[in-house]
Amino acid sequence: MKAIGIDLGTTNSVISRYDGERSSAAVLTNGEGETLTPSVVAVRVRDGKESTLVGRTAVNFAGRQPQDTVVSVKRLMGRDYEDPAVIEARERVAYPIVPGGGEDPRAHVVLAGTRYRPAEVSGLILQKLKQDASRVLGEDVTHAVITVPAYFHDAQRAATRDAGRQAGLTVKKIIDEPTAAAVAFGLDAGAERRRVLVYDLGGGTFDISILNMAKGASRHGMFQVLDFHGDSWLGGDDFDLAITARIIDWVRERHGVDPFGDRQFRYLAKAAAESAKRQLSQVEEADIIIPAAFRPEGGGALVDVEMTITRDEFEEMARELVDRTMRLVEEALGRQKLSREDITDVLLVGGSTLIPLVYRTVESYFGTAKVRRDVNPMECVALGAGILAGTLQGVECPACGRSNEESAASCESCGASLADAAPVDAPVIYEVTGMALGIGAAQGEQRDVFVPIIPRGTPYPLAEPRSRSFSTTDGRMIRVPVYEGDDPVASRNKEQGVIEFELPHDIGVNSRVDVTFNYDADRIVTVLISVPGRDLALQTTLRTDSPRAASPKKAGKGGEGGDAEAREQLRRTVSTAQHFLDTYGEFVSEQQAAGLRRDIEQARHALRVGDTGECRLMIELLWAHLLGSGTASALLLAERATDGASPQLARQISAAVADVRRTHRTGQPEQTAEQTRALRALVEPVLRQRYAENPERDPEGTGILQSR
C-alpha cells in the first residue's frame, strides 16, 4: 500500500509523501516538474475527437476556449444548483453551470457539450495527481489522505471522497486543511502545549482554526480542534478580481468600450491580474500587458491593454478584503471567549498569505513574534496530509492495546469499543462538528423549527449516541427531515435526508418517539428512530454522496410544468384549509385558528409570487395544521372518507361524527376525546386503503414530529 497526502485546492493542488526513516513529509513534483498543479480541467475537441486536459495544459488551453475550461470546481462540490454559492459562481465563471438531470438537484458543469458532476471533474484532477505521484515513487499509489476546508459540510466532504474513488484511490481520511497545516508545523522544540490559530487564506477560501497542540503518546503530537470559522468566498481569487475590475475600468476609460461581457477577455484579464498580484509581492509596481485583448462588437480595432499598477494601489483595493479576514478572526476568538493574548502561535497558510498587506496585518494584530512562517504556506497543508497518510496504520484498543484496522468499530481481540481509540503512532487529532446536526420539527405554532441533536462544536467520533424525545401528531406516518446547520429555521439548513416511519396500529397516536444520532470518524450520520418500551426501531445511515431528490423546501423556481403543478396543488390546499376553518372552526382553539389563518395568508402571497419552493413549503405547513388539530382533523378525515364510501359505511361514519359533535357541544371533553378516537379508528383504514390504491390522492405531510 502506497499512500500520499493531497491538498486538493481551489486554485492549485499539491501532493506529498511521508518518509518513515526521517519522520517527515516531502512535496512531490508533477509531470511538468512543478510542485503546484493547477486545479483546472478542459476538454479540447479537434477533428471530431475529444481530449481531456488537466493542470498546466488546461491552463494554457483556457485562453482560447474558456467556456470549455473548468476552474475553481471546488466551490461547487456537494452543492445544489440553487445554492447561493453556486448562483454567485454562475455570475463569475466562463463555463456553463447547469442543474442535474431528472430529480438530481446538484450543480453540474458542461464541458464540450457533456454534463459532469463536480466530483467527476475533481476526480480527473486527483487522477493526474495519483499518476504523477506513482511516476515519482516508482510504484502505484493506492491510498490518500485528502484535505478540505474546515467549514465544508458533510455533502461536500462526501463529494470529495467520491472524487477520490473516481480517481481509483482509497481515501484513508478526509482532514480539515488548517488541521493538516498544524500537523505540518508541529510543536517548537521543548514546547509542551500551545494554543494555535491557523490563518489559512488560499486561492478561493478563507479558513480559521483554533487548536490546542500538545505532546502526547504519539511522537507526532496531539491536536485538539476547539473551533473553526471561515468564508467560502474569500481568497486569492477575490484579490485577482479586484485587479481585473481595474483593468476593465482602464479599457472603458481609455477606449470608450465595455469589455465586461466578453468571457474570453475576462479570462485573459484575470490571468494577467493574478500575475500582477504575484509580482507586487516582490516589487513596488507591475506592468499589465495583454496584446489583442478585446475586439468591440460590430467590428473596430483590436484593443491592447498596456497599464501599470503599483503596490500602494493594489493594497488600497485589497484592504477591505484583508479587513474582512480579521473580522472573522475576531469572531472566531470571541466564540471561544479568547483574546489575542491567549494565542501562542499564528500559522500562516495558503498562497495569499504571501501578500505583504496580509502578513503585515496579521503581525500587527498578534505581534510579529507569534506569527510563524517557517513552513512554505503553499505546501504545509499537503505536508500535513502526507504525514497522516504515512502514519495512519490503524487504531489501538484502549482496553487491551491491540492494533486494529482503522475502520473497525470494536476490538478484534477483546471486543471493546474503538470509538475513542487513538491512532497507532500517528498524530492524535480530536475534531469537532462545524455545524449542528438535527431535525426539522414543530413547536407550538411554528412548523419549521430546527432542533439540534448533536450541537455545533461536539467532538467526534461520539463516545455514545445522542438522543432527543418527541411526541407525534395524530398522523401515523412520521416524517423526520435531517439537517446540518445553525439556522433556527430548519429548511434554511442543509438537508441530509428524510426518514419516514409508520406507527403500527397497536401503538397509539401522540406516542413518544426517540430520535438518536450517531456520528463516526468519517462523518457519517446514523439515525435511529424508536418507540420506548416497544421492540420497534428503524435505523438508517445517511449517505450524502448518493443522488437525492430535490427537497420541496429547497427547490427554487423550476420549469414551467413544476411551477404550475405546485401552484395548482397549493390552490387546492388553500381551499381545503379555508373550508376546514369555516366548517370545523368551533373544534379548533383560538390560537390554532390564528396560526392557520396566518399561514393561509402567507400561502396566498406565495401564489402571487409564484416561487415553487415557497409553494411546496406552504402546502406542507397547511397540511400540518389540517392533520394536527385533534378533533377538527378527525372530522375532516371523516368527511374525506365519506366521499365515495358505500351507503352503509357512510351511515356509520355519519353516526360517529354525530356522536363527536354531540359530546363536544354538551361540554364533555373526555367523552369527546373518546368519540374522536372511535371516529379515527373507523375512517383511517378506509383512507389508508384508498390512498394505497390511488397514491396521488394522499394529502402531503401526513405526519410530523413535535418537540416536547
Count structural domains, the chain. 3
- Other beta carbons within 10 angstroms of residue 591's beta carbon come to 10
Angle 177-185/380-391 helices, nearest 10 degrees? 80
Q: What is the 3-state secondary structure (H, E, C) of 83-139?
A: CHHHHHHHHHCCCCEEECCCCCCEEEEEECCEEECHHHHHHHHHHHHHHHHHHHHCC
Does the pLDDT value for residue 317 go beyond 80? yes
**What are the distances in angstroms from CA 392 to CA 91, 144, 260, 312, 708?**
41, 10, 49, 47, 43
Give exposure, 511-543, as e/b (b: 16+ Cβ within 10 Å): bebebbbbbebbbbbebbbbbeeeebeeebebe
Mean pLDDT of 238-261: 94
CA–CA gap between residue 180 and residue 600 (Å, rounded) = 51
Is 166 in the same domain as 29? yes
Say what the pLDDT of residue 143 is. Answer: 94
**207 in a domain, yes or no?**
no
**429 in a domain, yes or no?**
no
Is 76 in the same domain as 113? yes
Say what the pLDDT of residue 657 is. Answer: 92
- Mean pLDDT of all residues belonging to the chain: 84
**Among the listed ranges 23-32, 96-105, 464-473, 502-511, which one has the minimum average pLDDT value?**
502-511
**43 in a domain, yes or no?**
yes
Q: What is the pLDDT of residues 545-595, one digit of tens each?
A: 444 434 433 333 344 445 677 778 888 888 888 988 989 989 988 877 877
Q: What is the pLDDT of residues 271-293, one digit of tens each?
A: 999 999 999 999 999 999 999 99
Given 542, 576, 605, the domain boundary residue is 542
Mean pLDDT of 436-455: 82
Is 158 in the same domain as 29? yes
**277 in a domain, yes or no?**
no
Give the pairing type, strands 49-54 and 37-38: unpaired
CATH of the domain at 20: 3.30.420.40
Is 90 in the same domain as 126? yes
**What are the distances in angstroms from CA 320 to CA 47, 186, 347, 360, 682?**
48, 32, 22, 14, 67
pLDDT band at 96 (very low <50, low <70, confident <90, very high): very high
Residues 6 or more apart in contact with residue 65 via CB below 8 angstroms: 42, 44
Mean pLDDT of 432-440: 89
CATH of the domain at 513: 2.60.34.10
Is 534 in the same domain as 652? no
Given 390, 414, 444, the domain boundary residue is 390
What is the domain extent for residue 652? 560-707
Angle 669-693/631-642 helices, nearest 10 degrees? 40
pLDDT band at 77 (very low <50, low <70, confident <90, very high): very high
Of residues 190 and 466, more confidence is placed in 466
Mean pLDDT of 169-192: 84
Is 149 in the same domain as 35? yes
Mean pLDDT is highest, among 94-108, 605-619, 691-705, for: 94-108
Is 602 in the same domain as 675? yes
Predicted structure pTM score: 0.71
Say what the pLDDT of residue 24 is. Answer: 84
**396 in a domain, yes or no?**
no
CA–CA gap between residue 683 and residue 167 (Å, rounded) = 56
CA–CA gap between residue 386 and residue 24 (Å, rounded) = 9
Say what the pLDDT of residue 445 is. Answer: 55
Mean pLDDT of 348-377: 95
Q: What is the pLDDT of residues 102-121, one digit of tens each?
A: 778 889 999 999 999 999 99
**616 in a domain, yes or no?**
yes
Grid cell of 398 as nine digits? 484502549
Collapse the DSSP code of 673 into the 3-class scheme (helix H, G, I; strand E, B; otherwise coil) and give the result. helix
Share of the chain above pLDDT 70, in %: 86
**700 in a domain, yes or no?**
yes
**181 in a domain, yes or no?**
yes
pLDDT band at 544 (very low <50, low <70, confident <90, very high): very low
Give the rounded distance of the alpha carbon of 334 from its chain centre. Answer: 24
Nearest to 353 by CA among 366, 365, 362: 362
Whether the link from the prior residue into 66 is cis, omega within 30° of 0, is: no
Is 619 in the same domain as 653? yes
* 545 in Cβ contact with 527 (< 8 Å): no
Collapse the DSSP code of 25 into the 3-class scheme (helix H, G, I; strand E, B; otherwise coil) and give the result. strand
Phi-psi region of 555 (alpha: psi -120 to 50; beta: other; left: phi over 0): beta
